Amino acid sequence: MNRMGRKDARIAVSGIAEGIESIRAELVRAIEKAGRAPAEVELVAVSKGHDAEKVRAAIETGQLLFGESKVQEARAKIPMLPSQSRWHFIGHLQKNKVRHALPLFELIHSVDSLELAKEIDRVGTDEGCFPRVLLQVNVAGEASKYGFDGQALIASMEQLLQLSRLSIEGLMTIPPLTESAEKSRVYFIQLRSLRDELEKTFGIKLPQLSMGMSGDFLVAVEEGATLVRVGTAIFGERSRKIIV
Ligand SMILES: *Cc1c(COP(=O)(O)O)cnc(C)c1O
């Protein structure tokens, strides 16, 4: 119960149950308002920067799907938690961490280069598994962000589809940070349009759209998100250090 006393930990834990239930309620309302079915959108509770006790509190409310963005932190945290929990990787994945990441995560949202895709395919072949992935798109072309440029992704798609171990299930994006959720909408529409174009051009199915975070997940749902990644609105502010 690192650094926290028992009482503080209990307070943190009760806050999480409330946080998660209110986010779930908001999410369901938004899904219904958008004329979609609740089963079409899954909540990824982003637990990076929060300790295993907080995740356990979320699991007790019935939340089983979590997102982590650092392999080192996840390798320490995940084994401490009940085996029915499910994990998605959402951060920048270094090639030398792929081997550690694959057994921990059922889906990698953040394949941001052809080189990384090739490495995941190679490790998948070695390990006899078929990694499920999303391709991360840098929709606004920000220098500070990882991800494929939209046009570059179209150009690389043929090569990506030749990686026979990879199960490419959709696209993911992190739009520029803005003060208003409404400003993210244009980027969510861009991601969905790129998905539609890829499906049409290559005759493939890319059903997953991972978009929307604490500040803008309701808008993302309106624009077709199938996975929303919500951290702060559930768990509160996080520690910037790697935490278990
Ligand atoms: C941290 C993170 C999130 C969660 O962000 P919040 O604003 O805390 O909800 C979502 N997606 C990615 C890729 C992240 O790194």
* CA 198 to centroid of ligand 1, rounded, Å: 26
Query: Is the confidence at residue 13, as pLDDT, over 80?
Result: no
% the chain with pLDDT above 70: 93
- pLDDT at 95 exceeding the cut of 50: yes
Give residue 217's pLDDT.
97
Distance in angstroms (rounded) separating the CA atoms of residues 132 and 108: 6
Q: Is the pLDDT of residue 86 over 70?
A: yes
Helix then strand count (H, E) for the chain reads 9, 8
Q: Whole-angstrom Cα distance, residue 222 to residue 186?
A: 12
Residue 202 Cα to ligand 1 midpoint, Å, equals 30
Mean pLDDT value of segment 217-239: 95
Residue 1: per-residue pLDDT: 41
Beta strands in the chain (DSSP E): 42-46, 65-68, 86-89, 107-111, 132-137, 167-173, 208-210, 227-230
Burial class of 37 by CB neighbour count within 10 A (0 to 12, 13 to 18, 19+)? exposed
Ramachandran category for residue 201: left, alpha or beta (phi over 0 → left; psi -120 to 50 → alpha): alpha
The mean-pLDDT minimum among 7-16, 31-40, 218-227, 234-243 falls in: 7-16
At 127, list the tokens.
């390990």
| CA triple 14-16-19, angle to 5 deg | 115
Residues 27/212, Cβ–Cβ less than 8 Å = no
pLDDT of 244:
59
Q: Indicate whether residue 88 lines ligand 1 (CB < 6 A).
A: no
Q: Is 43 in the pocket of ligand 1 (CB under 6 A)?
A: no
Condensed to tens digits (0 to 9), the pLDDT of residues 34-81 reads: 999 999 999 999 999 999 999 999 999 999 999 999 999 999 999 999
Cα separation, 10 vs 56, whole angstroms: 12
> For residue 11, what pLDDT is reported?
45
Mean pLDDT, range 134-139, rounded to an integer: 98
Q: Which token pair is 136?
A: 């991360």
- Mean pLDDT over 79-105 rounds to 98
Question: Which pLDDT value is given to residue 238?
Answer: 86
pLDDT for the residue numbered 226: 98
User: pLDDT-based confidence at 2, cuts 50/70/90?
Assistant: very low
What is the mean predicted confidence (pLDDT) over 98-102?
98
pTM of the model: 0.94
- Best residue among 27, 43, 46 to mutate for probing ligand 1, ranked by most atoms within 8 Å of CB: 46
Encode pLDDT of 178-216 as tens digits. Answer: 889 999 999 999 999 999 999 999 999 999 999 999 999
Given a cut of 90, whether residue 94 has pLDDT beyond it is yes
Return the number of other C-beta atoms located less than 10 Å from residue 187's C-beta.
Answer: 22
Q: Measured from the CB, is residue 231 less than 6 Å from ligand 1?
A: yes
